[in-house]
Amino acid sequence: MARQNGLIKIKGTLDNVSFYKTKDGDLARMKTSVDGKRIANDPAFVRTRENGAEFGSSAKAGKLTRDNLRPISMNATDGRVVARMTKIMTDIKNLDTTSVRGQRNVGVAMATAQAKALLKGFEFNNGAMLSSMLFKPWAVNTSTGVISITGLVPTLDIVFPEGATHVSFSGAYANINYATGVADVKLTNVQNLPISGTSSVITLTPTAVPTGTGAKLFLLKIEFFQLVNAVQYSLKNGAYNALKIIDVI
């Protein structure tokens, strides 16, 4: 695809070239001359159909993850989280070494340690990454889902945005079965602290251990607030909030 330059940006189709606007700017590309019915039936496009089926499966796995984690992620994501999650799921799908081409899927691949390692560390907000914000080690009890941070001093251990007066920590323990599409997610308590030089112990405990058999995901979230007249307001509508998958088993 090509990028449109100049003062006047075109939208629509002209001489088999489609002009459109995206988050990356105004782009242009040649309109395909291949009929959709031909792609669906012509043996020459069997590889295309296989790739499409696997991409759809990966996108579905990404949506399953995002939808079930929405209660904790809805104010801590960037505009490209869908594409980035789909990319991770596509990489995971490629680790399925048993299914035939066109049927490789995340449900099979997620049973491998390599797949879990790919999902571990996923950041939901590339504009505010937990890995570049929190500099105090955390510990996760993978049996109970309890996340703990000992001796946290906000002014020393957190890179906080200008204007922030308070910070909240929360987490989630999710069980997602990518083969069946069944998931159960339990959120933790929220621990709110003033951004000061006081040392605190963070203990985040899920309401219960999620049921089911699947991949177990552990997430840690940081939110920033500004105190105005005794009320804490989300800083810049959550633009600085961070959420990360800190472990997968």
pLDDT tens per residue, range 86-139: 999 999 999 999 999 999 999 999 999 999 999 999 999 999 999 999 999 999
How much of the chain, in percent, has pLDDT values that exceed 70?
83
Average pLDDT over residues 3-32: 64
pLDDT at 6 over 70: no
Q: Between 63 and 12, where is the model more confident?
A: 63
Instruction: Pick left, alpha or beta for residue 36 (phi over 0 → left; psi -120 to 50 → alpha; otherwise beta).
Output: alpha
**Least confident residue range of 8-17, 42-51, 143-152, 170-179:** 8-17
pLDDT at 42 over 90: no
Burial pattern 184-215, b for ≥16 Cβ within 10 A else e, equals bbbbbeebebebeeeebebebbbeeebeeebb
The CA distance from 53 to 101, in Å, is 10
**Least confident residue range of 26-30, 140-144, 148-152:** 26-30
Name the band, by pLDDT with cuts 50, 70 and 90, for residue 28.
low
What does each C-alpha distance from 136 to 123, 132, 205, 224 come to in angstroms?
17, 11, 18, 17
Contacts of 111 (CB under 8 A, 6+ apart): none
What's the CATH number for 130-248? 2.60.40
The CA distance from 138 to 202, in Å, is 9
Residue 163 tokens read as: 């204007």
The CA distance from 246 to 216, in Å, is 11
Dihedral, CA of residue 124, residue 217, residue 59 and residue 93, to nearest 10 = 120
Contacts of 37 (CB under 8 A, 6+ apart): none
The CA distance from 67 to 140, in Å, is 23
Query: For residue 53, what pLDDT is reported?
Result: 83
Name the band, by pLDDT with cuts 50, 70 and 90, for residue 11.
low
Contacts of 51 (CB under 8 A, 6+ apart): 102
- Stated pTM of the model: 0.85
Average pLDDT over residues 181-200: 98
- Using the structure block, give the residue that is written with the tokens 């219960």: 208
- Cα dihedral across residues 225, 227, 232, 234: positive or negative: negative
Which residues in the chain are classed under CATH 2.60.40? 130-248
Name the band, by pLDDT with cuts 50, 70 and 90, for residue 45.
low
Residue 14 tokens read as: 């002209």
